[in-house]
Amino acid sequence: MNREEILALVKHRLQQAQTALEDGKFLIEGGRSPQSIVNRAYYAMFYAALALLQQVGKVPSKHTGVISLFDTEFVVKGIFPKELSKDFHKTFELRQMFDYRVMEPASAAKAQEVWQKSVRFVEAVRKYLFECMQETAG
């Protein structure tokens, strides 16, 4: 892939993350399923992480691979704080639990908390990628 194609894919992934955040907000405001809100929060983080990994040319095929590479490429190296990693891991675990293992949904308050963490995650990624693009362009 050339630089232009990578940039287009990064922008696409960030748009997917933004759409997931907006969907989550719509669900919260509509008093909809906490399970669905957690799902949208997770996917916002996932798409933002994919944008980051695309930037460095490492895109695994599994969700756990995306989370692991986010940690090794960005958290261990001090680019992002450990708190974002913990939020990403926890949101993944919650989505897995609510989608596959638990018959009781999350509480509305918990779902909103998770969504807020996903907003912070996506904003941090967007800011970092914007700064990277500014450096490459300048």
pTM of the full structure = 0.94
pLDDT of residue 137: 67
pLDDT tens-digit series, residues 21-62: 999 999 999 999 999 999 999 999 999 999 999 988 898 889
Average pLDDT over residues 97-120: 87
- Domains observed in the chain: 3-137 (1.20.120.330)
Q: 79: which DSSP letter?
A: S
Cβ-based neighbour number of residue 138 at 10 Å: 5
Question: Measured between alpha carbons, how far is 10 from 106 in angstroms, rounded to an integer?
Answer: 31
Residue 87 neighbours by CB under 8 Å, 6+ apart = 45, 117, 118, 120, 121
Question: pLDDT tens-digit profile of 75-92?
Answer: 999 999 999 999 999 999
Q: Average pLDDT over the chain, rounded to whole?
A: 93
